[in-house]
């Protein structure tokens, strides 16, 4: 889903293609190479024999509570689950092979046996629910986005993470897609240099709203749900967006007519141009109006090379290992390009190793908040606006 055959055909005609094995042996530079080729398969090795006691909340339309594979991880014991709707609660218990449930997150977080919670609830409540988990002395992983349209909640969330000291992770799937993961490894090894330009695209056509708890998806501003796109810069570089100009478009769907949604949002599609902290630019979008197009993808273009999909084109003769981390035997990669299992494994491993997870609170807000500001820009006819920055609290 990450490759674009039109772009690849146009750009590769004059470049040729050489295998990774030839490059690592000292072959010609400046050629195209699939960053996944001829790399030694990785074998999962446990970092501990301990089981993290996990609670899981949310089994809505996407069934995300069970979709990330916590119940299949050898270092996890699913202690209890919860959903507000009894039938869904029963379904989540069955899917997670768990015999204990609570009627709400607010009750589940009081269970002293639980030490970490996966929040797969409705997006408007992600920040509130995560703060409740953290304040009950538990680690938390949340579905995206970190906050829904609220800069005030972004401030409250980062302050809560800092005050409690427990681990927070946002489960942004693009970060563990094969292309984005490979881009990150190559960027960190210097294979791109500074990024001059990057693109992140999330197309999710639906002329009729997807079902959601209390209708939260109906008419939602597109770039309030930006992280599948913004991960293709923030998740690659660890750098930041500093300002944005955004243009909105209305494809004419009923949910976006005047007065039809609670967000007072007229846009089905938003395309934003960001300035980056490296001095480059980045085009990020979320579009619902392009007929039957459903895909998440990105591209990066740097001083020393570029990538579209998993093919690297650049000056490096030797690439770093770009294969994704291994999963425990019997644990599926899951959806969104096989990223689900990798995200839950990263969260559990971070707890066991007592380190920050890949998408911690600062990376999560760096992917989420720029979309909030982009929507404000679109409402102001593309006015350039500065983006708030969130930094680690100094001791």
SS (H, E, C) 183-252: HHHHHHCCCCCCEEEEEEEEEECCCCCCCCHHHCCCCCCHHHCCHHHHCCCHHHHCCCEEEEEEEEECCC
pLDDT at residue 143, as a whole number: 98
CA 117 from chain centre, in angstroms, equals 18
pLDDT at residue 38, as a whole number: 52
pLDDT at residue 367, as a whole number: 98
pLDDT at residue 31, as a whole number: 53
- Residue 100 in tokens: 């204990």
Query: Mean pLDDT over all residues of the chain?
Result: 91
Q: Please name the CATH architecture into which domain 5-38+174-322+361-386 falls.
A: 2-Layer Sandwich (3.30)
Measured CA to CA in angstroms, residue 146 lies from 131, 271, 389 at distances of 11, 20, 15
3-state secondary structure 59-117: CCCCCHHHHCCHHHCCCEEEEEEECCCHHHHHHHHHHCCCCCEECCHHHHCCCCCCCEE
Q: Assign domain 52-173 to a CATH class.
A: alpha beta
pLDDT at residue 394, as a whole number: 67
Residues 227, 142, 80: CA angle, nearest 5 degrees: 155
Cα–Cα distance for residue pair 267/380, rounded to 1 Å: 13
302-344 pLDDT, tens per residue?
999 999 999 999 998 889 999 999 999 999 999 999 999 999 9
pLDDT at residue 169, as a whole number: 98
Sorted by where each begins, the domain ranges of the chain are 5-38+174-322+361-386, 52-173
pLDDT at residue 259, as a whole number: 96
- Residue 342 in tokens: 């990798």
- Residue 308 in tokens: 């579209």
Cα–Cα distance for residue pair 299/4, rounded to 1 Å: 10
Which regions of the chain are under pLDDT 50? Answer: 1-30
The torsion defined by the Cα of 30, 34, 38 and 39, in degrees rounded to 10, comes to 100
pLDDT at residue 293, as a whole number: 97
What burial class does residue 40 get, using C-beta atoms within 10 Å of its C-beta: 0-12 exposed, 13-18 middle, 19+ buried?
exposed
Q: Which residue has the tokens 């790399």?
A: 39
CB proximity list for 193: less than 8 A, separation 6 or greater = 302, 303, 304, 305
Q: 333 and 341 in contact (C-beta within 8 Å)?
A: yes
């Amino acid at each position: 889903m990450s490759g674009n055959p039109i772009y690849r055909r146009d750009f590769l005609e004059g470049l040729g293609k050489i295998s990774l094995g030839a490059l690592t042996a000292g072959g010609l530079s400046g050629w195209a190479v699939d960053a996944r080729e001829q790399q030694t398969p990785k074998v999962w090795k446990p970092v501990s024999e301990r089981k993290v006691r996990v609670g899981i909340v949310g089994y809505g339309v996407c069934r995300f509570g069970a979709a990330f594979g916590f119940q299949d991880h050898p270092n996890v014991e699913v202690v209890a689950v919860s959903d507000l709707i009894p039938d869904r609660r029963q379904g989540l218990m069955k899917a997670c092979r768990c015999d204990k449930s609570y009627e709400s997150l607010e009750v589940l977080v009081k269970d002293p046996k639980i030490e970490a919670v996966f929040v797969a609830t409705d997006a408007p409540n992600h920040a509130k629910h995560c703060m409740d988990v953290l304040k009950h002395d538990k680690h938390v992983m949340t579905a995206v986005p970190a906050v829904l349209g609220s800069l005030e909640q972004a401030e409250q969330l980062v302050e809560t993470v800092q005050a409690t000291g427990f681990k927070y992770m946002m489960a942004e799937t693009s970060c563990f897609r094969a292309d984005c993961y490979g881009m990150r490894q190559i960027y960190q090894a210097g294979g791109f240099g500074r990024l001059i330009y990057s693109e992140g695209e999330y197309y999710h056509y639906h002329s009729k709203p997807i079902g959601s708890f209390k209708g939260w998806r109906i008419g939602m501003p597109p770039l309030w749900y930006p992280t599948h796109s913004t991960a293709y810069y923030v998740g690659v570089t660890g750098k930041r967006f500093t300002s944005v100009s955004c243009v909105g478009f209305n494809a004419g769907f009923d949910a976006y007519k005047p007065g039809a949604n609670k967000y007072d949002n007229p846009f089905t599609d938003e395309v934003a141009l960001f300035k980056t902290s490296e001095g480059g630019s980045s085009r990020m979008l979320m579009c619902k109006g392009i007929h039957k197009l459903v895909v998440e993808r990105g591209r990066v273009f740097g001083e020393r090379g570029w990538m579209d999909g998993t093919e690297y084109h650049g000056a490096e003769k030797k690439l770093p290992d770009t294969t994704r981390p291994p999963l425990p035997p019997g644990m599926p990669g899951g959806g969104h390009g096989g990223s689900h299992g990798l995200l839950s494994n990263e969260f559990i491993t971070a707890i066991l190793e007592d380190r920050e997870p890949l998408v911690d609170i600062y990376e999560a807000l760096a992917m989420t908040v720029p979309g909030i500001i982009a929507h404000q820009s679109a409402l102001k006819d593309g006015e350039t606006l500065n983006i708030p920055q969130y930094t680690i609290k100094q001791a």
